[in-house]
Amino acid sequence: MLNPDKRSFWLRNYTDQPVGYFLGAPLVNRPIEKYVGVLDSENMGGIRVYQGRGVGGGSLANGGMAVTPKRSYFEEILPSVDSNEMYGTFFPRANAGLGVNHIDQAWFESTDYYQFARVGRKTAERSGFATAFVPNVYDMNYMKQEEAGQVTKSALDGEVIFGNNHGKKSLDKTYLAQAAATGKLTITTLHEVTKVAPAATGGGYSVEMKQIDEQGNTIATKTITADKVFFAAGSIGTSKLLVAMKAQGHLPNLPGAVGQGWGNNGNVMVGRANHAWDATGAKQSCIPTMGIDNWADPAGPVFAEIAPFPAGAELWISLYLAITKNPERAQFQFNSSTGKTELSWQTSQNQPAIDMAKRVFDKINAKEGTIYRTDMFGTYKTWGDDFTYHPLGGCILNQATDNFGRLPEYPGLYVMDGSLVPGNVGVNPFVTITALAERNMATVVANDLS
């Protein structure tokens, strides 16, 4: 993160890190060669959406936090899904498939690399907030070996948002590796689907795509025909494509709910300035392992990661990624004059998230006699409210699709990603996305595939 090169970002000439400022100046980002790097920051107008690019998608660039949502809230947002099945079968199956594990708590208490998290826990608990360890797909035994100097460092060497070269069980090492081992999987990289429509003859669907080179130039266009097409391009990619296909008349009978109900999982970031006696450590693991759990507060539900800020120096900064119950939603709309699909989200829609997070961090600051950092998200800006790591919704389950991800009116078209989740799941979403895919595919395989 401290020395990004062209491999860091997807087809950009300049990096766009979430915490882009320090001491109020844009000191963090730097020019890079345009290349098909691992992280995309897609500007959707009122919000920048961070998305993983490459074989493994978001799992390549996320912090690995593998949190199963609170059952009561899951039942609230997806009432059509059998929660007994989810919590008895599909969440456990997803956790096993993803390789979820837990940090050695004795090691956590002693290592220099989690001093930042212990300070975050101490200040939260002194203000009456509960904290919780959270599981991860980073191999915690590998991390202990990193500290001992026995293996190549990754999480302990400033690697996370541009991928972990070691230690993390991203999807290319779990689900995709298992699929490849069957001999039935072909992955074709550097291809972008531009059109899906019923095939002119013989049934199935015609799928058009462009092939790009490593600088993003189109070098070929291709068309294939498929009996079944599964949209798994993420909340943004799937929603944008389906909305465009409906508006352009290629899939005109898609439901009106396609493109609706998008949310940012209530994401907002904030930093606090600690006292000199609450040092957060020059050494920091890039993998978060603890959160502040204030979700039960009816006036402002918040689950806040105690996030690392691995600058390689002592900065006395506590950084947090808050997941809030922001009710605001947005819609995708096709702009016929530009030929692009746009998102209606406005930055002002994140004010409820700020208000909920403020209830927690105002209280901590008051108790500790500390202040917010106002120099990390702009020249004088307290809240990181104009970006999200967790895009959700746009093709919500049992609204835009049937109860298992099938697109009505178009047998053989399926949605299997975060666009099924209605805008907010209360925790880091990728275990929920995986478990829903496990559930939906169990039904599709049993009933739709012969």
Show which residues are catalytic.
Answer: 305, 390
The neighbour count for residue 309, using CB atoms within 10 Å, is 19
Cα 157 from chain centroid (whole Å): 22
In the block, tokens 């918040």 appear at: 302
Q: Which amino acid is at 80?
A: S
What is 78-92 written as a DSSP string? -TTS-HHHIIIIIHH
What is the length of the chain? 450
The whole-angstrom separation of Cα 184 and Cα 161 is 31
The whole-angstrom separation of Cα 116 and Cα 283 is 9
Give the CB-side neighbour count of residue 236, counting CA atoms within 13 A: 24
What is 153-203 written as a DSSP string? -SGGGT-STT--SSSB--GGGTHHHHHHHTT------SEEEEEEEE-SSSS
Contacts with 440 (C-beta within 8 Å, 6 or more apart), sequence order: 404, 405, 414, 416, 420
| Cβ neighbourhood burial of 153 (10 Å; 0-12, 13-18, 19+) | middle
| Cβ neighbourhood burial of 359 (10 Å; 0-12, 13-18, 19+) | middle
**What single-letter DSSP state applies at residue 263?**
E
Three-state DSSP class for residue 340: strand
